[in-house]
A and B are shown apart, each in its own frame.
Chain A
Amino acid sequence: DAGITQSPRHKVTETGTPVTLRCHQTENHRYMYWYRQDPGHGLRLIHYSYGVKDTDKGEVSDGYSVSRSKTEDFLLTLESATSSQTSVYFCAISEISTIRRNTEAFFGQGTRLTVV
């Protein structure tokens, strides 16, 4: 299994509080992604990173920010949590080069976040 660790695995927080989720990898992969999974929507990309300090928005980035100060860590912050952000969050990593273009993404076990 790819070395991806998400923490915490479960969290309950109150509306309006900031929350940070951590993704740690030991594979030295360049790309890291944060997805949220909701019934009927599959997985939707929140933010992604293509290198240290290189990040960009995905399709559902409002209310979220990210940081990547080291290759191995990718943090997702909910600046002021809302009930609509109750979801399961997945981190993924992948390594893509001009030689190896069809490499798959590897996923963490997920973080179940409940905003009350």
Chain B
Amino acid sequence: AQSVTQLGSHVSVSEGALVLLRCNYSSSVPPYLFWYVQYPNQGLQLLLKYTSAATLVKGINGFEAEFKKSETSFHLTKPSAHMSDAAEYFCAVRGVIQGAQKLVFGQGTRLTINP
């Protein structure tokens, strides 16, 4: 069955530091993977998605994620954190579950940026 695990419910980094949010998935091949961001009191917005065309996926706001099949991982990174990156981030996998397309989310990682 498709599932995702996000390691770390809270991550705190300094402004300008590297951001690394971890996601491991369990899915049949091929996995359809997504990262979403949620700013306070808002809905979820797509950051990036894995399309199988390239293992390194670039998204909005300077974020990128690398698909590693051998590690079943899809970690999200940004080289230099900005205060505006403070939000909650969700990794998700989509697949056929009980005969229908469903999107399964991880538990989320809250990112805090320290000045």
Contact = CB atoms under 8 A, between A and B. Distances in A.
Interface of A: 31, 33, 35, 40-45, 48, 50, 56, 58, 90, 92, 94, 96, 101-102, 104-110
Contacts, number: 58
B102 interface: yes
Interface string B36-69: 1000011111100111100000000000000000
Given A104-B34, A104-B49, A90 B44 contact: yes
A33 B101 CA distance: 10
Nearest to B41: A110
Contact of B102 (A40, A48, A90, A107): A48
By DSSP majority rule, is chain A's interface helix, strand, loop, or mixed?
A: strand
Given A40-B107, A43-B90, A43-B105, A56 B43 contact: no
Interface string B77-103: 000000000000010001000101111
Interface string B4-19: 0010010000000000
Contacts of B44: 43, 90, 92, 107
Using C-beta atoms within 8 Å of the partner chain, give the interface range for chain B: 20 to 34
Interface of B: 6, 9, 32, 34, 36, 41-46, 49-52, 90, 94, 98, 100-108
Contacts of B98: 56
Contacts of A45: 102-104
